[in-house]
Amino acid sequence: MSLPPVIDLGENSPIIIDNGSGWVKSGYSCEDHPRSILPTMVGRPKNRVVTEEDDRARKRQDKAEKECYIGEEAQLKRGALILGYPVDKGVITNWDDMVRIWHYVFTTILHTQPENHPVLTSEAAKNPPRERERLTEIMFETFRVPELYSQVQGVLALYTSGKTTGVTVDCGEATTTVVPVYEGYKITSSILSLDIAGKTLTDFLSRLLAEKDLNTSAQPHPAASEVPPFSSLTERECIREAKEKNCFVAIDFEQEITSMSSSKNID
């Protein structure tokens, strides 16, 4: 992914971090596009040694191996990693891994010190107050940001259109959320959340491939008969990539069905 042109950011241009279940988007408020769209993913090597002697031997053999891999790096090495997703349905469920991702964003992607910039973060429409308190604590105490503002993703999306009143529909990786907003404030009692989103399509595609008896793994699982098809996180990542590269929204659904039925490459 190509980065937008680097412009003069000033000394304290605000940093924006959009925390999603599938992706973390980050950049500066004075730029039109995110600097990075990073998979919300942390991976750790599968074969970690446990004894002290083996640990020393392992370090001698492979000094380059990391404790964990983040984002695209974890995605590229997913076959050798145990993958974890610290955000579920917009709510942070693994704070340690989320801190690792934020640290990676500040230091590796934005190449800056967070204490020099105000930070704006997005949050789920029904984010529990205790979760917002914990985010605030981490940003101030761990990253020492000078200022912090957290707002619902739907409200922020409406702001980008220059409006403060309206209804936003946010379809993400794990959930679709409808947020009514009046004069810049969300109407909490009318927020609607549906567990139908990008992950739903990935699950559906997995079932279709399982029915055709296809498998994304290079080697069959030793207990394949006892394990549901595409049940590992690594296999699911392969399915998700295939979905994003090949699937599309049909403008005319009936016409697309007709075209696919007559296609010689349907299989």
- pLDDT over 70 at 106, yes or no: yes
Confidence (pLDDT) at 239: 86
- pLDDT over 50 at 19, yes or no: yes
Looking at domain 15-160, its CATH class is alpha beta
The pLDDT of 224-249, averaged and rounded, is: 72
- pLDDT over 90 at 38, yes or no: yes
* Structural domain boundaries in the chain: 15-160, 198-248
C-alpha distances out from residue 81 to 45, 76, 144, Å: 4, 10, 31
Q: What is the band of 179 on the pLDDT scale with cuts at 50, 70, 90?
A: very high
Positive or negative CA dihedral for 235, 238, 244, 246?
negative
Position with higher pLDDT, 222 vs 107:
107
Of the listed ranges 58-72, 148-162, 241-255, the one predicted with least confidence: 58-72
- pLDDT over 80 at 2, yes or no: no
Percentage of the chain modeled with pLDDT above 70: 79
d(CA 166, CA 182): 7
Position with higher pLDDT, 214 vs 38:
38
Confidence (pLDDT) at 64: 52
Q: Which residues lie across from 36 on neighbouring strands?
A: 26
Relative to beta strand 36-39, strand 42-45 is unpaired
d(CA 213, CA 171): 30
The pLDDT of 100-114, averaged and rounded, is: 94
Identity at 224, one-letter amino acid code: A
d(CA 198, CA 241): 11
The pLDDT of 192-205, averaged and rounded, is: 88
